[in-house]
Homo-oligomer: A and B are copies of this chain.
Amino acid sequence: MTTILHGNIIHTPAFGALETIPGGYLVLEDGVIQGIYPRLPEQYAACPVTDYGDGLIMPSFADLHLHAPQYPMLGMGMDLPLLDWLDTYTFRTEARFEDTDYARRVYRQLARDLITSGTTRVAMFSSRHTAATLILMEELEKAGVTGYVGKVNMDRNAGLSQETTEESISETLRWLDACHFDLVKPILTPRFTPSCTDELMAALGKLAQERDLPVQSHLSENTGEIAWVGELHPDCKQYWESYNKYGLWKDRTLMAHCVHSDAREQEAMAKAGVWAVHCAASNVNLCSGTAPVRELLNRGVQVALGSDIAGGDQLAMHKVVVMSIRASKIKQIETGAPFLTVPEAYYLGTVAGQRYFGGGEGFQPGHKLHAIVVDDREMPEPTRELTLSERFERAVYLMDKRCIKAVYSEGIQRV
């Protein structure tokens, strides 16, 4: 089946690049991009066209780090120190997902809020609960949000949310066996080194290898945590080695934060093919710092963005893209490292994450379409006709949910 979208096509075909095709045509066969054309090729003349008029067709977002069961506490507890925040809000909130009816309601709202905000791919932490995790995967799949979800493993230092080592392992196996979704796949998710015993880490590493499963966790978010890992693993010179020791530090492992990763840790990431997930809003909210994104990129580390709700307060990834620019400007003031331009940050919040899941660079032929269509007509009237690059930049800064008129995920229109 041929689908043709007509509108202003704007995409980032490489990190830092921006390509604009005014009034262009995006041709799909069964949801797979065939090409982008300034004028419609003869061969498609008879095909129906979905006309977005003066709208902007842009890559959709990928959120590579967020905690689904923290959605109910979004925007709360932000004045508390990290440990109080964890005790008063996080662990209590996550524990509530024992209740599958509650999980269904929250996860249905979350999935709907994600897709209508233009997020079509995620790498997500669930809670420790097998049933709620499967519900989350089902709701995402129904809404058209694709990617990875992980049942969280934590058998120490996790307050109300803790499980025993045996439970953690057996429930993980039960969960993996029950995963049967097309678009949402499992990812192993040791919460972070301090909340997993050596025995659990070893079991997860073994599982990752045996079943060829991807891994996600947290790394070097704040200095207290780093010191704690040092105490727990005196044999490890650096935080990352506590994952490496158990086979969890491998190609495509996602590590959220990396705020305090130094040159050696960054090089270990680049070498192993571990990805850094930059969560700018969360790192500021929790006073963790600003991650060395430019340095990571320069060292060849793959970087994507995460909302990290509910340490982050913004589910909408266009806001996360802007926060990443702001954090990079703070970093520039501090260290002189050049800030992220709008096309660079947009790439990190969209295409970088899409590529993690095997997608193409920008709207690359041969890949299923992941896109949003933005209507910018209600933005302030400019003094002159704007270029598409200007409209792109303005859309990134000013868009909100109401501006997103259509969302395509895996080649299918979902909004």
Residues on A facing B (Cβ under 8 Å): 71-79, 92-93, 96, 102, 105-106, 109-110, 113, 281, 284-285, 287, 289-290, 313, 322, 325-326, 329-330, 332-334, 339, 341-342, 379-383, 386, 390, 393-398, 400, 402
Q: Measured between alpha carbons, how far is A93 from B113 in the docked complex, in Å? A: 36
Contacts A78-B393, A341-B79 given; indicate if A383 touches B290 (C-beta within 8 A).
no
Closest-by-CB residue of B relative to A309 is: B380
Provide the residues of chain B in CB contact with A395, threshold 8 Å.
Answer: 75
Q: Cβ of A74 and Cβ of B383 under 8 Å apart? A: no
Contact yes or no, B400 A400, CB < 8 A: yes
Check A287 against B76 for contact (C-beta < 8 Å). no
Q: Are the CB atoms of B75 and A397 closer together than 8 Å?
A: yes
| Contact (Cβ within 8 A) B382 A79 | no
In the complex where A106-B381, A380-B106, A383-B96 touch, is A333 in contact with B74 (Cβ < 8 A)? Answer: no
Stoichiometry, copies per complex: 2
The answer on a CB contact under 8 Å between B72 and A383 is yes
Complex CA distance for A93 and B71, rounded to whole angstroms: 41
Cβ contact within 8 Å between A380 and B110: yes
Q: How far is the CA of A79 from the CA of B397 in the complex (A)?
A: 12
Q: Which residues of B contact A105 (CB under 8 A)?
A: 381
| Bound form: Cα–Cα A184–B408 in Å | 47
Q: What is the CA–CA distance of A77 and B334 in the complex, to the nearest angstrom?
A: 22
> With A74-B397, A75-B397, A397-B75 given, is the CB distance from A287 to B383 under 8 Å?
no
Cross-chain contact of A284 among B102, B313, B329 (Cβ < 8 A): B329
Least distance between A23 CB and chain B CB atoms (Å): 21
The answer on a CB contact under 8 Å between A393 and B289 is: no
* Residue in chain B with minimal CB distance to A69: B383
**Structural contact, B92 and A380, CB atoms closer than 8 A:** no
Contacts of A78 in B (CB 8 A): 325, 342, 393, 397
Residues of B within 8 A of A106 (CB): 380-381
State in angstroms the CA–CA spacing of A395 and B74 once bound together: 10
Across chains A and B, which 10 residue pairs bring their CB atoms closest together, nearest first? A75-B397, A96-B383, A75-B394, A75-B398, A313-B397, A79-B341, A284-B326, A71-B380, A72-B382, A72-B383
Cα distance A307–B90 in the bound complex, in angstroms: 32
Contact B332 A287 (CB under 8 A): yes
- A383 interface neighbour in B92, B313, B394, Cβ under 8 Å: B92
Is B329 in contact with A285, judged by CB distance below 8 angstroms? yes
Contact of A72 among B290, B333, B380 (CB under 8 A): B380
| Residue pair A380, B74 in contact (C-beta under 8 Å) | yes
A98 to chain B, nearest CB (A): 11
Residues of B within 8 A of A284 (CB): 326, 329-330
Closest residue of chain B to A383 (Cβ to Cβ) is B96
